């Protein structure tokens, strides 16, 4: 049995505070995770970089994107090409399916961020092809203050005919794994099978509370705005603060894969 965190952000997200290398270093040395997914906002560049670097850190990475659909955010996993933002949930799921990927409904009904509602999810699942692609729902999200322990949301998510998933939605390193998915196996391929068969379970972590926002996220976010992020220069090097490149400091610049930060 293994653990996965399928919702992690890097500096390729406008609000991420750690480089791809730093995320890999932290996961390898400070968590019990077997598999992770990098899911930056509407950008796949960091995920593909993480997939290339992951063997050196001894972990498996699923490339993905947190896609901003017109209905709310959805995690697109097991894809290696970007998916356009702004499409409906159904259109997005079909695009992800064409790329060989799977979708997970991210933080449904969450306040303060663009989220799917359960009516939209149910409507999408009436589409036969979408049912094959939209396979999971984020029942626990450790990164959203005040919403992650909403018992009504958890009950509604549990009632869906989907794999039940826990994720961190980490934007700072110490959040990674504070919300995870328990699955039969230890590999990305075995995790995919578990998602498709809905045999996953949720592990709830400490999550991000008001104190953690003030202590951890806001200082890191302000440093990010000034061009400083947590970085790692190699598997055997320590984590440290480093300056971002000018390209990553400017969110208006496109990535090499045509997606924005």
pLDDT higher at 246 or 38: 38
DSSP, res 35: E
What is the per-residue pLDDT across 12-56, written as a single tens digit (0 to 9) for each?
999 999 999 999 999 999 999 999 999 999 999 999 999 999 999
Among residues 127, 126, 128, 77, the alpha carbon closest in space to that of 105 is found at 77
Judge contact between 67 and 76, C-beta under 8 A: yes
2-249 maps to which CATH number? 3.20.20.140
State how far the Cα of 218 lies from the Cα of 216, in Å rounded to an integer: 6
Stronger pLDDT, 43 or 210, i.e. the higher one: 43
Question: Model confidence over 84-129: pLDDT tens digits?
Answer: 999 999 999 999 999 999 999 999 998 888 999 999 999 999 999 9
Instruction: Parse the chain into domains and list their residue ranges.
Output: 2-249
Band of pLDDT at residue 148, cut at 50, 70 and 90: low
> Is 32 or 211 the better-scoring residue by pLDDT?
32
What pTM, to 2 d.p., does this model score?
A: 0.92
> What is the C-alpha separation between 149 and 202, in angstroms, rounded?
13
């Amino acid at each position: 049995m293994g653990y996965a965190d399928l919702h992690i952000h890097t500096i390729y997200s406008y609000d991420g505070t750690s480089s791809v290398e730093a995320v890999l270093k932290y996961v390898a040395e400070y968590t019990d995770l077997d598999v992770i997914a990098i899911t930056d906002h509407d950008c796949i560049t960091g995920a593909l970089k993480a997939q290339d670097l992951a063997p050196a850190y001894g972990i498996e990475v699923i490339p993905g994107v947190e896609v901003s659909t017109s209905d709310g955010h959805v995690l697109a996993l097991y894809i290696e090409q970007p998916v356009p933002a702004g499409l409906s949930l159904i259109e997005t799921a079909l695009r992800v399916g064409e790329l060989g990927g799977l979708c997970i409904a991210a933080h449904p009904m969450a306040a303060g961020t663009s989220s799917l509602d359960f009516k939209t999810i149910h409507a999408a699942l009436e589409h036969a092809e979408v049912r094959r692609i939209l396979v999971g729902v984020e029942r626990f999200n450790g990164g959203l203050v005040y919403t992650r322990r909403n018992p009504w949301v958890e009950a509604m998510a549990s009632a869906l005919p989907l794999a039940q998933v826990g994720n961190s939605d980490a934007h700072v390193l110490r959040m990674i794994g504070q919300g995870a998915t328990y699955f039969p196996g230890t590999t990305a391929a075995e995790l995919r099978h578990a998602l498709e068969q809905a045999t996953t379970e949720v592990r709830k972590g400490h999550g991000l509370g008001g104190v953690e926002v003030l202590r951890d996220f806001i200082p890191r976010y302000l440093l990010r705005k000034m061009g400083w992020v947590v970085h790692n220069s190699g598997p055997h090097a320590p984590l440290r603060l480093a300056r971002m490149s000018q390209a990553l400091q400017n969110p208006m610049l496109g990535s090499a894969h045509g997606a924005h930060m």
